[in-house]
């Protein structure tokens, strides 16, 4: 069973990746705390590549990374790469976004998730990007999820992410889409390279 380093220090993200990648039987481990990756990319995919390559080279093992965020059309793609730093708490981030949008009718948005897998030498073996189109609600709805989930409405499901069950969200979320695209390419990958 191959060991793959997840380029994050967040145990929650490790658990989430374990769920998506369970069919592969990989042993996923958190990156060592002393490896710090500065996210200097200008796109989600650049940041995912950077994190995966840096951690792979530093550990000498396969590494997988994701980078994701919310892009709101009326805000020229903001908060985008800065989604996690758009406020101190989830509540702050939601309030700042709703205030920025005001009462505009243009509320289209998309959640984006980029994933990159790097070989032990840091070269990128595979990458993908999942996009979930939606709209920003006028006010939070639902009790589930985290982050912007209470204000991200998915028309195809007629619910916000926060109103969905975890299984429903996994089926249509940007991260679920990205992993669904990546899994078929991961299965035949020779991890002995």
Active site residue ranges: 67
Q: Is the distance from CB of 66 to CB of 48 less than 8 angstroms?
A: yes
Q: How far apart are the first and last CA of the chain?
A: 14
Instruction: Enter the tokens of residue 129.
Output: 């990007």
Q: Helix 174-186 to helix 11-21 angle, to the nearest 10 degrees?
A: 50
From the list 49, 56, 12, the residue with the least C-alpha distance to 31 is 56
């Amino acid at each position: 069973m191959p060991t793959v380093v997840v380029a994050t220090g967040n145990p929650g993200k490790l658990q989430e990746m374990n769920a998506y990648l369970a069919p592969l039987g990989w042993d996923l481990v958190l990156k060592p705390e002393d490896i710090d990756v500065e996210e200097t990319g200008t796109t989600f995919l650049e940041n995912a590549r950077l994190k995966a390559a840096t951690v792979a080279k530093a550990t000498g093992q396969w590494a997988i990374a994701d980078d994701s965020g919310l892009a709101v059309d009326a805000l020229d793609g903001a908060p985008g790469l800065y989604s996690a730093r758009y406020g101190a708490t989830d509540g702050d981030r939601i309030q700042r976004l709703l205030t920025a949008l005001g009462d505009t009718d243009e509320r289209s948005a998309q959640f984006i998730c980029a994933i990159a897998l790097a070989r032990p030498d840091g070269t990128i073996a595979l990458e993908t990007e999942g996009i979930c189109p939606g709209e920003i609600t006028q006010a939070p709805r639902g009790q589930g999820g985290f982050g912007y989930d209470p204000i991200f409405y998915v028309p195809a499901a007629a619910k916000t992410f926060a109103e969905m069950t975890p299984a429903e969200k996994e089926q249509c979320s940007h991260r679920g889409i990205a992993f669904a695209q990546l899994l078929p390419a991961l299965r035949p990958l020779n991890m002995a390279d």
